[in-house]
Amino acid sequence: MSDHVIWKPSKSVIKNANITKFMERHEIKTYEELIQRSTTGIEWFWDSCVHETDISWFEPYTRLADLSEGFEFTKWFLGGRLNITHNCIDRHLENKKIANKVAVIWQGECGAVKKMTYTELFHETNRVANYLKSLGVGKEDYVALYMPMLPELIPVFFAILKIGAVVVPIFSGFGTDAVVARCQNAGVKVVVTADGTLRRGKQVLLKAMLEDSLNAITTLEKCIVINRLGLDNVPMTPGRDVFYNDVIPQQSIAALTEELLSEHQSIVMYTSGTTGQPKGTVHTHAGVLAQVTKELYFNFDLKPKDVFYWVTDIGWMMGPWEMIGTLHFGATLVIAEGMPLHPKLDRVFKLCDDFSVTHLGVSPTLIRLLMREESLVTKKHQLKTLRILGSTGEPWDPDSYSWFFENVGKSKLPIINISGGTEIMGCLLAPLIIKELKPCSLQSPGLGMAVDVFTEGGYSADLGEVGFLVCKKPAPSMTKGFLHDRQRYIDTYFSKFRHVWNHGDWVVRDADGHWYMRGRADDTIKIAGKRTGPAEIESSLCLHPFISEACAIGVPDDIKGEILVCLVVLNKGIGETQFLKSDLKNWVMQHLGKTLKPYAVHVVSVLPKTRSGKIVRGVIKKKYLGEDLGDMTNLENPHLLKEIPSIR
């Protein structure tokens, strides 16, 4: 934590912010009053919020919330009818200014560009919807997306929601077992994929990769294959598999949008830990719209003129999040195929310049990689249109946060560092642009999110004391449970603190009320009675001039309980030596004290991560201890585990 304020909003920023207009309408004078009212009076806030963000209802709700089954199974916006697709696409056709503007800009890894106006997106969405209905797909049927970021992804996603079916996004790099587990659990009826895609300049044959999975999914009836690469000899099973271009273009551009109850399922997002079967988090039309539009409108100050780009994948929560939030407000969404560092390391920044991006969202991991090539940003790209930066996925370290702020934001732009999860389809913590920011902080509780920091005993922690991130009242977007597994949902979030959502993260608040992440609670390290999160140690290591990334784990020890083992990635051109390892141990000791001096430091080329960029400390620890690694389907680079040394 730092007492140094890195960014302050100007009078102009405050005056023109969406949140300021909301405060004026409700006669809220200060930021502190806003946070207090929104997090204690959640009923008032959510009722006011969905009006402020202009959510459109076919039938207005008659009751805001029903807690008769407890916090765990709260129902929201009872009696209301709406549809995500109506809000994000259909209604914009009534406004000619928005109907004719660009809704989506797609860039292929090869450099190809495709743009769709809101009218074109409306027509294509309707074509896909009509074809799905011709297959017998309807309300509460599940359709899986095993897709890269392609232009067809957007109309397919919204077409599924339009007809009342449920979207099941799946990472397009998952192997057979991971795909089958998710599709079988959901009872998927249709899978949409592509013949292939480009990744790091190479053709990835998606349909061929998916073939064994398709043959194993017992509920599957149809597979729709998008012609991305125009490949010959794509494996196609007659009667089951069809090419997108053979069935969609001839469909009608007019289609009915289903008027759905607020609690109607919209998306099942799968999340998995290091053990057990993947968990299907269930989200609704009203819940997703309420949370996502709130965050884009208030925290990211999104306006119709803006161009929004977050480096993400459809299999990560941020994919649906950015699609729904951006298009709801009639802004422009940018999506990109392939890797953000290919064909050149500066691709993300060139894309921002080429398409006049106003909002850029990244992970700290991406920034740590780009820091090695600082001249790509400071010398080649102006980034003049950027006005807000975003980040999520993992805790920041001060060095990379400052680099992002200074080099990409030119020391002028706020970093909206958000933290939440798949289970919430949004954030528990998120800054507002009307208040100053400190390095690495998340600044504020999310509006309408009654969060707190709990001690092990279930009491509110003091300022400066690390504790569990919890939410004491329900929010509309919280998962309705795990698909087909009610008890596991209860055990996961409500077993530690009765009727309180335990998110599983360590957090701390400083004396000024700024919030900071300290990593996952299950990554906690306890040495000689001192409990700490790995983020504090990793941040210290990343301040060393020779280190680009770090991972800290606790290893059992008979005397101290645990000893600290660190894995580091060296900056380009730095060689591994025993002197450097010794220096790194002393570096941590000087910053954090003798108790937290690492027992061992190991050098690796890259740290194993999830596909959303999170370091898999739990898996790394198991590999180090020689234990069973459990479920690794969410790993981006499982082969790197062989670099992790083992003590057994």
- The CATH number for 207's domain is 3.40.50.980
Q: Is residue 2 situated within a structural domain?
A: no
Domain that holds residue 623: 524-643
Which CATH number goes with the domain that contains 319? 3.40.50.12780
Distances (CA, A) of 458 to 211, 453, 516: 49, 9, 19
Of 66-70, 170-174, 444-448, 457-461, the one with minimum mean pLDDT is 170-174
Q: Are residues 555 and 509 in the same domain?
A: no
Q: Do 242 and 386 fall into the same domain?
A: no
Task: Pick the more confident residue, 537 or 24.
Answer: 24
Q: Are 288 and 357 members of one domain?
A: yes
Q: What integer best gives the mean pLDDT of the chain?
A: 92
Looking at 518, 547, 573, the residue that finishes a domain is 518
- Same structural domain, 134 and 81: no
Q: What φ, ψ does residue 92 adopt, rounded to 5°?
A: -70, -20
278-299: average pLDDT: 96
Categorise residue 480: left if φ over 0, alpha if ψ from -120 to 50, beta otherwise: alpha
List, in sequence order, every residue forming a beta bridge with 506; answer none if it has no partner. 468
Overall number of domains in the chain: 3
Compute the average pLDDT of residues 143-147: 97
Q: Are residues 493 and 532 in the same domain?
A: no
DSSP 542-596: HTSTTEEEEEEEEEEETTTEEEEEEEEEEPTTPPP-HHHHHHHHHHHHHHH-GGG
Cα–Cα dist 75/640, whole Å: 44
Residue 260: which pLDDT band, with cuts at 50, 70 and 90?
Answer: very high
Q: Would you state the pLDDT for residue 561? A: 75
Whether residue 270 is contained in a domain is answered as no
Q: Which residues contact 333 (CB under 8 A, 6 or more apart)?
A: 103, 104, 105, 154, 308, 309, 322, 323, 326, 327
Proportion of the chain above pLDDT 70, given as a percent: 96
- Of 132-141, 536-545, 596-605, the one with minimum mean pLDDT is 536-545
- Do 144 and 79 have their domain in common? no
- pLDDT above 50 for 142: yes
What share of the chain has pLDDT > 90, as a percent? Answer: 74
Q: Note whether 173 and 224 are same-domain residues.
A: yes
Query: What's the token pair of residue 79?
Result: 């009696």
Residue-wise pLDDT for 425-461, tens only, equals 999 999 999 999 999 999 999 999 999 999 999 999 9
636 within 8 A of 604, measured Cβ to Cβ: no
For the cut 50, the answer to whether the pLDDT of residue 110 exceeds it is yes
Residue 271 within any structural domain of the chain: no
**Element (H or E) spanning 271, and its range?**
strand 265-271
108 assigned to some structural domain: no
Q: How confident is the model at residue 274 (pLDDT cuts 50, 70, 90)?
A: very low
62 and 191 belong to one structural domain:
no
Out of 193, 227, 261, pick the residue that ends a domain. Answer: 261
Residue 520 has pLDDT above 90, yes or no: no
Quick one: pLDDT band at residue 491, thresholds 50, 70, 90? very high
What is the model's pLDDT at position 91?
98
Whether residue 58 is predicted with pLDDT greater than 60 in this model: the reply is yes
**Do residues 388 and 466 share a domain?**
yes
Does residue 275 register a pLDDT over 50?
no
**Which of these, 477, 463, 461, lies nearest to 428 by C-alpha position?**
477
- Position 154 confidence tier, pLDDT thresholds 50, 70, 90: very high
Structure confidence at residue 612 (pLDDT): 63
- Would you say residue 5 lies in a domain? no
pLDDT digits (tens, 9 = 90+) for 224-242: 999 999 999 999 999 999 9
Residue 17 has pLDDT above 90, yes or no: yes
Domain limit, last residue, from 471, 500, 518: 518
Whether 254 is covered by a domain: the verdict is yes
Question: What pLDDT score does 262 carry?
Answer: 98
Same-domain pairing of 467 and 594: no
**In this structure, is residue 172 part of a structural domain?**
yes
Specify the pLDDT at position 1. 61
For the stretch 217-239, what's the b/e string if a residue is b when 16 or more beta carbons lie within 10 angstroms of its beta carbon? Answer: beebebbbbbebbebeebeeeee
Q: Kindly state whether residues 237 and 378 are assigned to the same domain.
A: no
Per DSSP, the three-state class of 245 is helix
- Specify whether 229 is located in the same domain as 144: yes
CA 107 centroid distance within chain: 20
Evaluate whether 164 touches 58 at the Cβ level (below 8 Å): no
- The arithmetic mean of pLDDT across residues 37-41, rounded, is 95
Characterize the bridge pairing of strands 63-66 and 75-78. antiparallel
Please tell me the distance from the alpha carbon of residue 449 to that of residue 432, in angstroms, as a whole number.
Answer: 14
Residues 497-510: pLDDT tens digits? Answer: 999 999 988 899 99
Structural domain contains residue 537: yes
Nearest Cα to Cα of residue 59 among 260, 328, 257? 260
pLDDT for residue 528? 61
The CATH number linked to 553 is: 3.30.300.30
Token pair in block for residue 194? 């592509």
> Mind listing the pLDDT tens digit for each residue in 191-224?
999 999 999 899 999 999 999 999 999 999 999 9
pLDDT for the residue numbered 535:
76
Q: Is 318 exposed, middle or buried (0-12, 13-18, 19+ CB in 10 A)?
A: buried
